[in-house]
Amino acid sequence: MKIVVLWSDALIFLLVAVIATFFWNMRKDKILTERWRQVFSSRLGMVAFVVIASYILIALLDSLHFRKALEPVEGQPADQVFYENRATSVLDVLMGDMADENERTYSAPFSLKSFEKVNMKADDGSSIRDFPPLVHAGKHLDDPADKPADIVKQTFIALIIAIVVCAFWIGPQWYFLRNSELPWKSAWIAQAVIILVFVWLIYVGNLYHVLGTDKAGNDVLYKSIKGIRTGVLLGTLATLVMLPIAVTLGVCAGYFKGWVDDIVQYLYTTLSSIPGILLIAASVLLFQVYIDLNPDFFTIGLQKADARFVGLCFILGVTSWATLCRLVRAETLKISQLEYVQAAHAFGVSNYRIIKRHILPNLTHIILITFVLDFSALVLAEAVLSYIGVGVDPAMTSWGNMINEAREELSQEPAIWWTLAGAFFFMFTLVLAANLFSDLVRDAFDPKTVDGGAKA
Which residues in the 359-378 window bind other proteins by CB under 8 A?
361-362, 376
CA separation for the pair 436, 451 (Å, rounded)? 14
Q: What is the DSSP letter of 454?
A: T
Q: Are 158 and 203 in contact (CB under 8 A)?
A: yes
Nearer to other proteins, 8 or 283 (CB): 283
Selected binder of other proteins within 202, 369, 436, 444 (CB under 8 A): 436
Q: Phi and psi (nearest 5°) for 317?
A: -65, -45
Nearer to other proteins, 110 or 424 (CB): 424
| Cβ neighbourhood burial of 91 (10 Å; 0-12, 13-18, 19+) | buried
The nearest distance, CB 326 to other proteins, in angstroms, is: 12
> Is residue 85 part of the contact set for other proteins (CB under 8 A)?
no
Instruction: Give the C-alpha distances (Å, rounded to integers) separating 66 from 304, 337, 343, 390.
Output: 16, 53, 56, 28
Nearer to other proteins, 158 or 427 (CB): 427
Q: Are 254 and 336 in contact (CB under 8 A)?
A: yes
Nearer to other proteins, 200 or 321 (CB): 321
The amino acid at 368: L
Q: Is residue 434 within a helix (H) or strand (E), and if so which, with residue range?
A: helix 418-445
The amino acid at 393: D
Indicate the pairing of strand 88-89 with strand 118-121.
unpaired
> Is residue 278 part of the contact set for other proteins (CB under 8 A)?
yes
Specify the stretch interacting with other proteins by CB under 8 A; choose among 100-108, 181-189, 201-209, 432-440: 432-440
Selected binder of other proteins within 108, 245, 260, 277 (CB under 8 A): 277
Q: By CB under 8 A, what part of segment 334-353 binds other proteins?
A: 338-340, 342-350, 353
Q: Phi and psi (nearest 5°) for 123?
A: -60, -35
Specify the stretch interacting with other proteins by CB under 8 A; choose among 128-136, 162-170, 232-240, 419-427: 419-427
The nearest distance, CB 315 to other proteins, in angstroms, is: 11
Specify the stretch interacting with other proteins by CB under 8 A; choose among 1-9, 142-150, 200-208, 265-273: 265-273
CA separation for the pair 31, 427 (Å, rounded)? 33
CA separation for the pair 369, 438 (Å, rounded)? 7
Tell me, by CB under 8 A, how many residues bind other proteins: 73
The nearest distance, CB 184 to other proteins, in angstroms, is: 23
Specify the stretch interacting with other proteins by CB under 8 A; choose among 2-10, 142-150, 163-171, 404-412: 404-412
Q: Are 104 and 217 in contact (CB under 8 A)?
A: yes
> Is residue 389 part of the contact set for other proteins (CB under 8 A)?
yes
Exposure string over 349-371, b if 16+ CB within 10 A, otherwise e: eeeeebbeebbbebbbbbbbbbb
Nearer to other proteins, 154 or 362 (CB): 362
Q: By CB under 8 A, what part of segment 279-298 binds other proteins?
A: 279, 281-283, 285-286, 289-290, 292-293
CA separation for the pair 309, 391 (Å, rounded)? 8
> Is residue 181 part of the contact set for other proteins (CB under 8 A)?
no
Site string for other proteins, 301-340 (x = CB under 8 A): -------------------------------------xxx
The nearest distance, CB 364 to other proteins, in angstroms, is: 8
> Is residue 22 part of the contact set for other proteins (CB under 8 A)?
no
The nearest distance, CB 130 to other proteins, in angstroms, is: 28
The nearest distance, CB 77 to other proteins, in angstroms, is: 34
| Cβ neighbourhood burial of 143 (10 Å; 0-12, 13-18, 19+) | exposed
Q: Are 369 and 440 in contact (CB under 8 A)?
A: no
Selected binder of other proteins within 224, 272, 332, 397 (CB under 8 A): 272
Q: Where are the alpha helices (DSSP H) in 339-392?
A: 339-346, 351-353, 364-388
Nearer to other proteins, 44 or 197 (CB): 44
Specify the stretch interacting with other proteins by CB under 8 A; choose among 85-93, 144-152, 154-162, 434-442: 434-442
> DSSP letter string over 139-154?
TT-SSGGGHHHHHHHH
Indicate the pairing of strand 118-121 with strand 2-4.
unpaired
Selected binder of other proteins within 201, 380, 392, 416 (CB under 8 A): 380
